[in-house]
Structure 1
Amino acid sequence: MHRYRHRLRQTAWLIAMLAGLSGCGTAIARPSAGPVPVLAQGTVSVRDQVLTDNERRRTVNPDGYARKLAKLSEAPYSFFRGTSPLFYRRLFAALPASLRAAPAVIVHGDLHLENFTALPGADGVYYGIDDFDESLPGPASIDLIRCLSSIVVAYGDDESLLGAFLDGYRQGTDGRMATASVAITKLIRKQSNATQAEMLAKRTTATRPRQMKPGDATKALTPAQQATLQAAVAAGKLGGLDGLPCEDAVQRFAGTASLDLFRFEGVFGNGGDRDRIVEIKELLPSVLAGHLGTPSDDGARYRQAVRQFQGAAASPVSDTTFGNYRMLIRYRAACKDTVSPEDVGPGDRQAFLTDLGKITGAAHTRSGRGGALATFVDAQRALLIRTAQRQGNQSLNDYKAFGASRR
């Protein structure tokens, strides 16, 4: 009965939102990161575990839920990206004590090869880390194992590639940040020339007022819904938007793990080249909360992660309670692109992974524990690699089981 009432409350909010209404309330909590008991994993199919992990969204956002399940079936890396609850249940069930005792930082929580991206900085575009939905205070080993495991899924369990990432991490803790990857250099050069006008032309019409361009990954909103969205953005008090009208907005489906979250994109301004595109994205409690503890304020822990991973030059991020949901609000940067694993040639992979390690090590070092992090990686290198190999190969096997159980 409680679960039924919970779904009714979620559905009622969606109906209210679609009617152009808004309200105030506490954010609906994400179910525990371990809804399938660890001891039962051997008797519960992978597919049933994944469906249980995503059950919260089936009635709340059925379109996003269907898109996410389809995405999980596309490729092993997509499955890895979209099944972090399963990944972490397996990890924490067998996490060695020495890795659990790693120096504490703000962990990203879902660090993988495609969560590194081009970002605007004080000295121009740089390659960094974004998307902190799962961030929480915790042992640095969590990020290392998750990212190393993504390397296994993308490139196999070649120890030289895994070691390259850890070599880079060690350098990053010492402040050695020069990047050498051809793929990263090429992307940064391209994104450094990206302009606001080009982004507006790509994503909006040239009409006055502007309209968001429709596509397979968007859903139109009514004027009443757009007005509600503008009120939510105004409540978030994102700097630079004061008084600017929302010309148009759409619901957008993007990402992999976040495909079933509510996400909106709106263009604010007066039809000129200075118009801004604003992203509004639902923020749930971290999938790691069941393992590392629940913070009192999800918006605050997200902003804390932004500060650690992106530093003082980070773009502003705001949040607001909208209905029963916490929504993140930020500008869409003109430079926003990532290097996909398949875009990195075999001869560039060592340099690419070393660079990603440098970026991660430097970000963790902003916690003030660079020396302890370096000592930890030196001492636990072999165990980190073995643990990531186990986790990555298990994800590959889970992907096969997920697809096989569908037939």
Structure 2
Amino acid sequence: MKTARALVLGAVLACGPAAVAPAPGPTAPRPDTFAIDGAALLAKDPHVARKVGRTPYTFFRYQNRAFAERVCNRWASTIPRMPLVHVHGDAHLEQYAVAEGGRGLADFDASGEGPPVIDFARFSASLALARPYDHAGTKAAIAALFRGYSRALIDARATMNEPRVVMRLRERFEPTRLEWLDRMTLLISPSDPADHEVFAQAWRGFVGEMCSLDPSLDEDFFTVKAGGKLELGIGSAHAEKFLARIEGPTSALDDDILLEAKALEPGALASCMRGVDLDATRVIETQLQMSAAPERFLGAMTIRGKPYYTHAWQVFYKELSVDDVHTAAELAELAEDVGLQLGRGHAKSKDAARVPKLRAELLETAKRVEADVVDEAFELAHEVSLAWEQYRLAL
């Protein structure tokens, strides 16, 4: 683990955004609205506009910054009494993923230091939107979220049986690692030829730094076998992404590695969070601290003066869809599992002596805000749904 951390921090220092001045973020969204100018988005990017408008849930996914700002304002009077911790920043049901090496919340683009209620409220509202017809089931799932959170704070080794939804997702894994690699490689879109040398220059610097920090690696390990742009995501639909399939430890086809470089966007962090939008360190540190699966090649690079963070894809990685959840009991299982992950992640600190006090503060905070979070989850989900209905009129 020490080698992995040295590799990560060294890569950040050497290739990261230190040489890039943070761009000014956009004006913070008004706290009283989730409105989007549908006509403007449709004119700018028809594909994204239609994707956002599919369901209230996809609309909610696109609205993370506005949502987080609303949470900052809603709990403004009590946030000063909450401990600041590494928060996921965009915790919702469809951020839950399953892979060969583990399960749990993934995709840490919006992470940084902030009040834990950011994660409580976001995930709870996602539960309400996932089953809008089941008020009682949603309340039970939110209770399970807080139950898992409290269990993790009381006992850092607390676990639970694998949720039934996770077992079904594992049954849908490709039969072999090679088949998974080949299917994921099909997601790569050709990049602009003008970008090739710019990307190659950034890649050479990144590879050189990785190899210098880990003597077990060589340049052949990072030989790019396929690479280009990646057009995925809803909340991150406007963030430029590159995906490369690299050689890996041997010339065998089935031990190749998929490595993604994802642009950091200005305006990612809400006003009650700390961190620099364009600093990859905030993403890397939170991912190391909170991820429920082993992480590889977390680092940073700069392309055309813009900062990106890097990470390897987990083998057989598969994201959950709200349609994968069949019953209220299954929703509660997932919520409790996420609660355990958030509890473990929020309670970690570089200062080991601070951890016992931090656990107590987080436990008290969770107990104090739980009832409000339940009420707000339904209210925020309702407001998102109303805003989605208005947005749909422009499509």
Q: Under TM normalisation by the shorter chain, which class is it?
A: 0.7 to 0.9
Partner Cα separation in structure 1 for residue 303 and residue 105 of structure 2: 27
Q: Which residue of 1 aligns with 2:124?
A: 148
Q: Which residue of 1 aligns with 2:336?
A: 354
Give a deviation string over 1:244-273, Cα, whole Å, max 9, x none. 432332211101111111111122236743
CA distance in structure 2 between the aligned counterparts of 1:84 and 1:296, rounded to whole angstroms: 14
**Following the alignment from structure 1 to structure 2, what is the Cα–Cα distance between the partners of residues 357 and 194?**
31
8 Å CA contact 1:107–1:143 kept in 2: the answer is: yes
Does the C-alpha gap of structure 1 residues 259 and 151 become closer, same or farther in structure 2, counting only changes over 3 Å?
same
Q: For the residues of structure 2 that align with 1:297 and 1:221, how far apart are their CA atoms?
A: 23
* Offset from partner CA, 1:121-167 (integer Å, 9 cap, x none): xxxx2212211111111111111111101111111343222212211
Measure the CA separation in 1 of the matches of 2:297 and 2:60. 29
Aligned to 1:341: 322
Alpha-carbon distance change, 365 to 82 in structure 1, aligned in 2, over 3 angstroms: same
- 1:247–1:267: 8 Å Cα contact kept in structure 2? yes
> Counterpart in 1 of 2:236?
258
Partner of 2:70: 90
Name the SS for the 1:313 alignment partner: coil
SS in 1 for 2:244: strand
Aligned partner of residue 47 in structure 1, secondary structure = coil
**SS where residue 186 of structure 1 aligns?**
helix
CA contact (8 A) 2:68 2:270 kept: no
The match for 1:26 is 20
CA distance in 2, matches of 1:177, 1:51: 47
Change (3 A) 1:28 1:103: closer
Q: 1: distance between equivalents of 2:188 and 2:182? A: 17
Give the Cα–Cα distance (whole angstroms) in 2 for the partners of residues 27 and 197 of structure 1. Answer: 41
Residues paired across the two proteins, number: 353
Contact 1:136 1:286 in 2 (8 A): no
Note the 1:282-293 alignment, pairs <5 A. 282-285=263-266, 287-293=268-274
Matched AA of 1:315: R
Q: For residues 173-212 of structure 1, what are the structure 2 equivalents within 5 Å? A: 173=153, 174-175=155-156, 176-188=158-170, 195-204=176-185
TM-score (norm 2): 0.79
Q: Which amino acid aligns with 1:274?
A: D
**Aligned residues of 1:27 and 1:324 also touching (Cα < 8 A):** no
Q: Identify if the C-alpha distance between structure 1 residues 338 and 226 changes in structure 2 by more than 3 Å, giving closer, same or farther.
A: same
SS in 1 for 2:283: helix
Aligned pairs (5 A) from 1:76-225: 76-95=56-75, 97-99=77-79, 101-119=81-99, 125-156=101-132, 157-158=135-136, 159-173=139-153, 174-175=155-156, 176-188=158-170, 195-204=176-185, 213=186, 218-221=188-191, 225=195
Task: Say whether the 8 Å CA contact 2:302–2:308 is kept in structure 1.
Answer: yes
For residues 98 and 117 of structure 2, the distance between their equivalents in structure 1, rounded to whole angstroms, comes to 24
**Offset of 1:25 from its aligned partner?**
6.1
Give the partner amino acid of 2:74.
A
8 A Cα contact 2:261 2:311, kept in partner = yes
* TM-score of the two chains, using structure 1 as the length reference: 0.77
In the alignment, what sits opposite 1:372?
A: 361
Alpha-carbon distance between aligned partners in 2 of 1:196 and 1:184, rounded to the nearest angstrom: 18
Question: Which residue is 1:9 aligned to?
Answer: none
Question: Cα distance 1:263–1:241, how it changes in 2: closer, same or farther (>3 A)?
Answer: farther
Aligned partner of 2:199 in structure 1 is 229
Distance 1:356 1:292 in 2: 21
Higher mean displacement: 86-95 or 369-378: 86-95
Kindly indicate whether the alpha-carbon contact (under 8 Å) linking 1:25 and 1:323 is maintained by their aligned counterparts in 2.
no
Gaps of 5+ in 1: 1-23, 205-212
Which among 371, 388, 392 is matched to residue 382 of structure 1?
A: 371
Classify the secondary structure of the residue corresponding to 2:291.
Answer: helix
Q: CA deviation at 1:308?
A: 1.3
Question: CA 1:151–1:401 in 2, change beyond 3 Å: closer, same or farther?
Answer: same
Unmatched 5+ residue regions in structure 2? 1-17, 212-216, 350-354
1:63-83 deviation line (CA, Å, top 9, x unaligned):
xx4332221111111000001
Return the offset for 1:113: 0.6
Partner of 2:245: 267
How many angstroms apart in 2 are the aligned matches of 1:184 and 1:30? 40
RMSD over aligned CA atoms reads 3.0
Q: CA 1:139/1:194 → structure 2, altered by over 3 Å: closer, same or farther?
A: farther
Q: Secondary structure at the match of 1:292?
A: coil
8 Å contact 2:246–2:258 — kept in the other structure? Answer: yes
- Specify the SS of the correspondent of 1:133: coil
Confirm or deny: 8 A CA contact 1:196 1:334 kept in the other structure: yes
Matches of 1:352 and 1:274 in 2, distance apart? 31
